[in-house]
Structure 1
């Protein structure tokens, strides 16, 4: 049985053109060590922090695959979740597929165009470590199609939603597990018209760091890019970056809190 509730983020991985380069980059940035699962699993490589599974890296199996981080949500029955995804207007891109005895995997795209994965745990439950430096702490869906996307995830995972901000100039919702508004699992950000029209919808993944400014500087030193300068927020000091192969993610020091959460 999964250690994660239905609909909770349980895993993240990055699809990269150069797996070895990814290990060098993230090994230095997050202090990760790596375990290659071998040819049987396409050299899927676990990223570990202090011996605990924090995420994974994999080489792109097809050049057309995006260079990107992906998030996976827990399911007790991947086949039933796949049916809900289709019924709610999403698209299944692969699976459900059994991955030896580790679990069952499927990939999907929501009505707004954001890719996400679903994981039915077997021998691999998902994250061993979260909310600590070098580990996953949050994800949010950046989309232009807020209303259909909200309805989709409510239908698939039963999420509740709390509006943060005014819903117009700043339209951000926090999703929570069914009947449990205190257990927040993800966010939904409606993208503004000021952003390029061809910018694809996507889930953005946040990793905790001990020092946001130092992490942002390290990204740049290692050949990555700074997309959003470090800035303070009521959730922590954060920056949006890209690695040296172009995969976007965010880093956040959750101890450095400045200001009040909008809407509270």
Structure 2
């Protein structure tokens, strides 16, 4: 058991930004509830996090399946655990022209990136409101502020997450509960493999990929400070700033040029 006795629930905690966030919480003596699909990988990470002297509970669930998502809350409560911090990190994308992509795959992305976030936030927020205490960190993306040709559904889901986070924050402003959105750009994670996106111009430049540990640190610090959002990385801040004063059609065209396959004309 950790010294502060608090629990953070983190989805997608076995790799990438989610893993780095879990590590930061463990180092700060938060007990962890980590959720992902891969039971074996969860246990590997749990052993690692426990080295920081915290309790780690693993829950293997597939967020493409709504019933499994809904069951997370009951499983946590059955263990007598109260969640102090909720981190909705799990998310995937799918790369390609919308007209060509498989509908089922895109609906799975919506289920994971939107429905799971709504379900977990709804269920755990009720307890936070009752206690008038809690923090929520939602993984948005700079994609939430930009139209995304070749990733139309992914960008759409992240726009939802960002808008949802901002609205919730306003609704909760008279409480002691804070909601923070983390907006990273291209980050060196397994996201692009899962999205079949390695042919995209946007991911060909290895030097342009952010370190997930740095992104997690930005998000963690913003969460602990109670900020509404943080855009991770100077380059991404500049890109979003420029997009705010550029016509939407031009932003979409520029993103199309950035994201289309290297061998596309």
Shared fold, TM over 0.5: no
Q: TM-score, normalised by structure 1?
A: 0.31
Task: Tell me which protein shows more strand as a share of its residues.
Answer: 1
Q: TM-score, normalised by structure 2?
A: 0.31
Task: Tell me which protein shows more helix as a share of its residues.
Answer: 2
